[in-house]
Structure 1
Amino acid sequence: MDKGKILVVDDNEQNIELLQGFLEAKDYEILTAYDGAEAIEQITKNDPDLVLLDVIMPGMDGFEVCRKIKFQMNLDFLPVIMVTALNGREEKIKGLEVGADDFISKPLDWTELTVRIKSLLRLKRTHDQLRLNLARLDYQLDLARSIQMGLMGSQCRNDAAEVFYHPVEKVGGDLYEFVKVDEDKCGVLIADCSGYGVPAALMMASVKIVFMGLDKKNTSPSMVLNNLNTEIMNLFSSKLEGLFITAIYMVVDFKNKCISWSNAGHPYPILFQNGGGSYMTPGDMPLGILEKLNYQTHRIPFNEGSLLMLYTDGLAEYFEKGAQMLPENLFPKILSKLGRTSVQERSSFYKGLEADMENFSDDICYIAIRLGD
């Protein structure tokens, strides 16, 4: 087993030879440097696992070398033991301020030195393994994100939909889907699993699979949600453990200019027409709570040129996160403004959301459907 690579830094050749002989006898690979500049070069070229760093050296002293290692070299984690003949409290505080991980005093106690080296190398190996595991996890989450984005809906009839979707983590619990019911009708699903991250994403993937397997051509929106709830309860049974799903399924009939929908505990859609907007109420209980639910189908006509908005609660939370400093009813005002803007203006709004992703506290999905010209 590779015990580790140690860089010994000291301007005294005898000290280096003494340390090198002792550590090589214990099967460590040894690098040497006689001043600060050479130490920095060795670290850059040879990637040691630990540095034994003498404090008192001409030119760049050990404190300055340590500061460069810890704060300027952009290294992941390189333990530094400062070797010093200084026993004062101020020197140790200074060493801690520049990032030293441990100290050992001259004259050296070889047993103490061995124990301190072993301890920091164990910490280094643990840190490196954790970093490797996190890199693997990050890669897997990136892949999962790509897969999840591929699961999202394609487009509504005649590219009538504008969609903004952003999970607060790599993957999320919001879902949208468009389905072709017939030549004149487009089915729209928007859903939000409680929570976020991997559990919510796995739940949403399951909902997507179940939803795509349901009959939607000869079934009302309420029956689609009833069937979806039944399948979810059968699939997960008691495994939901407090998770639930809010959802809306609607059918937009472009020929007869009518929307039929059913709402399972989801934020109300808004229909903008005739110069104003109105919430499409009511709503029923979320999916995944009770086995037998009786969702209702509601209908509303629309005019040519109307705009339909659907969204998850993350969008409202984003705008109302500073509610104590913002005007009352800010979110409805923003939606009302969006309902009167052009496609280009709404595109600028989406770009603004993308630029401010770091301030999202929940997954966000927003859909605007243009209902005719």
Structure 2
Amino acid sequence: MIQELPKHEELQVFLNQQNKAVQNTHQTTNHWQTKLLHALKGEGDTDLHQWAEPILELLAQKLSALQATLYFFDEEEQKLKLAAWYSPIYPDNIPQTVELGHGTVGRAAKTHKTVRTNLKGFSSFSATTEFQPDWLLTVPLMNNYKLAGVFECTAFDHEANHIAQQEFDGALPFVASALHSILKEKQLLRSLAQLRDEREHLQTLASVGTEGVAFIDNFRVIDHNYAFSQMFGFENDELEGMHLAELLKDNIFSQVNFSEEAFAETEARRQDGSIFVVEMQLRKVLRQRRQMMVLTLRDISKRKAAEIQLADSQQKLQAAEQVITLTKEVEEKNKKITASINYAKNIQDALLPKQSEMAQQLAEYFIFYQCKDVVSGDFYWHHAAGNNTCYLAAVDCTGHGVPGAFMSFVGYTHLNSVVKHQGFNQPEAILKQLDQEVVKTLRQNENKNSRDGMDVGLIKLQLDTREWSFAGAHRPMVMYSNGRITETKGSKCAIGGCQGTKHTKEIGATAGQWKSGDMCYLFSDGYADQFNLKGEKFMAKRLKQLFQEIGHLPANEQHNILKSQFEEWKFGSSQMDDVLIIGVRLP
């Protein structure tokens, strides 16, 4: 049930304080990030709840949240468990566990999707709170496509929280990574403790035994205790007069002098014929004025088995300790690698055309650009040659991730050089020269096994005359006009990477005119090649049909539809390739 809202004056004071905190956030971003990084590192053996509380408070304050919770995902129980909660105004009974798919937290964990919910008009909305805020944000914390936990918060002032959204979004991957690392470390430490307990148990077990004692005269049992008969499975009086050869393995008689004191380990034989291991000790005694030998036997079968298990446990313990050490080393290396890749992403983002420059020539357009990894092998390119001439290109380089990003640097650099410095101004001439530059840079004339290159769709738009000229290297262009689409195919060869194939590199151009309001689409193959859970590709035909269905809509709506359709198609599957679609409403 929803709690009664606080008095108006108290709520106004809190909101004023929160708004003031948001304004101060812009001035203290570095301080906030430093505090967050310090909190993520933790303090030695701090437990999960102590580690999570300051992190949750920092995240909640960044969004001016009224309430917030942080759950971690227990892989063994397949449940979400409360790590920490934050509420500066209201105390609340927060659920300690949440089932997958139950409530906003459980649904976000199950679908791996972030949900921002407008709560105005709702009387009950979440297990997290019992009062009525304006909005609810539920974010799954993902690390390498695996669920680490869920963050959920509520607030009254949506816009004030939107100011810090970018910094908040940038911090979540680090929180997810740190939470995943702590959960893994806690799991390993629990396993380590279990192995240590097992070792202590086995050591205790190995030291426990019941001794059997018998008086021996001329290798025969004269007298014995109850434990001796029980050890061999006989009744108490059945052993008297029995020769030791019926009880002990034959080889012991050649190893031990039974007339002298001795200590040895050997095998014994029970009445049912089963064999067990014993420690035996011989001592001289006088009994009834006669010298006899006292034979003491200790069944050490369990101890031997325990020793074997102990050795195995010690090996597992050493392996677990090595895993913990290696895990920490791998995590440290991953942090450095991730930092390097993120730095490369900053460089790649800086190379892409500025949206403000494109908007000076193109009043309405969209770019759907979704990398498979942090960096991309796809990139888009724009060049304005005066006020009336516009060049656009969608480029798909070999590979994705870091290798694809390296190829994109090569392609972007040479494309700029060919057009801006070498003076080529016709699409087919630009692509031919670009091919020569890539082949030269990658030394593909020397190395015939090199297949690295790029697919390019390049269009030149003459804005004053409404004329277009297109050339493609293994990529087409689609035009939408009055509810119909027309596809202009590119050449069969790619830029570079085509050495030794059966295709001759013949790159031509196609020209035409457009009507005001037509749409032009350039795109890579990542969208069409995406698989769904059934193993089906989206396919280029379905993509062109989608262009035909949405071509009349505003550019921003087209972008949203393409994105939602893509996410719906690949739901539950990994993204196969980088995705790039450029759509331009022609003036």
**Which band: TM-score by shorter chain?**
0.5 to 0.7
Tell me the alpha carbon deviations over residues 85-143 of structure 1, each in whole angstroms, 9 at most, x when there is no partner: 379xxxxxxxxxxxxxxxxx979999888766544322321121011111221222222
Query: In 2, Cα distance between the equivalents of 1:253 and 1:210?
Result: 23
Match 1:248 to one of 457, 461, 466: 457
Q: Are the aligned partners of 2:529 and 2:539 in contact in 1 as well (CA < 8 Å)? A: no
| Matching of residues 216-295 of structure 1 within 5 Å | 218-238=424-444, 241-266=450-475, 268-288=476-496, 289-290=498-499, 293-295=505-507
- Cα 1:120–1:367 shift into 2, 3 Å: same
Query: In 1, Cα distance between the equivalents of 2:541 and 2:311?
Result: 69
| Matching of residues 15-164 of structure 1 within 5 Å | 43-44=45-46, 74-76=183-185, 77-78=188-189, 79-80=191-192, 81-84=195-198, 85=201, 117-155=317-355, 156=358, 157-164=361-368
Give how far 1:294 is off. 4.0
Give 2:520's aligned residue: 308
Give 1:29's aligned residue: none
Query: In 2, Cα distance between the equivalents of 1:125 and 1:175?
Result: 40
Largest Rg, 1 or 2: 2
Q: Are the aligned partners of 1:154 and 1:177 in contact in 2 as well (CA < 8 Å)? A: no
Q: Are the aligned partners of 1:172 and 1:201 in contact in 2 as well (CA < 8 Å)? A: yes
Q: Are the aligned partners of 2:466 and 2:515 in contact in 1 as well (CA < 8 Å)? A: yes
Give how far 1:337 is off. 1.0
Which segments of 5 or more consecutive residues in structure 2 lack a partner in the other structure?
1-43, 49-75, 82-181, 204-304
**RMSD of aligned alpha carbons:** 3.6
Query: In 2, Cα distance between the equivalents of 1:338 and 1:319?
Result: 22
Q: Are the aligned partners of 2:480 and 2:519 in contact in 1 as well (CA < 8 Å)? A: yes
Give 2:381's aligned residue: 177
Secondary structure of 1:213's aligned partner: helix
Q: Are the aligned partners of 1:247 and 1:265 in contact in 2 as well (CA < 8 Å)? A: yes
TM-score by length of 2: 0.44
- Matched to 1:341, the amino acid is L
Q: Are the aligned partners of 1:83 and 1:106 in contact in 2 as well (CA < 8 Å)? A: no
Q: Are the aligned partners of 1:320 and 1:331 in contact in 2 as well (CA < 8 Å)? A: no
Q: Are the aligned partners of 1:319 and 1:330 in contact in 2 as well (CA < 8 Å)? A: no
Tell me the alpha carbon deviations over residues 171-206 of structure 1, each in whole angstroms, 9 at most, x when there is no partner: 121111100122101111211012211111100111
Secondary structure of 1:237's aligned partner: coil
Match 2:403 to one of 199, 215, 218: 199
Q: Are the aligned partners of 1:270 and 1:279 in contact in 2 as well (CA < 8 Å)? A: yes
Query: In 1, Cα distance between the equivalents of 2:582 and 2:477?
Result: 10
Q: Which has the higher contact order (CA 8 A, sep 6+)?
A: 1
Secondary structure of 2:183's aligned partner: coil
Query: In 2, Cα distance between the equivalents of 1:45 and 1:171?
Result: 35
Secondary structure of 1:352's aligned partner: helix
Percent of aligned positions that are identical: 16
- Cα 1:322–1:252 shift into 2, 3 Å: farther
- Cα 1:318–1:335 shift into 2, 3 Å: farther
Query: In 2, Cα distance between the equivalents of 1:317 and 1:119?
Result: 43
Q: Are the aligned partners of 1:315 and 1:364 in contact in 2 as well (CA < 8 Å)? A: yes
Give how far 1:315 is off. 1.2
- Matched to 2:343, the amino acid is L
Q: Are the aligned partners of 1:273 and 1:307 in contact in 2 as well (CA < 8 Å)? A: yes
Give the number of aligned pairs. Answer: 292
Give how far 1:153 is off. 2.1
Give 2:167's aligned residue: none
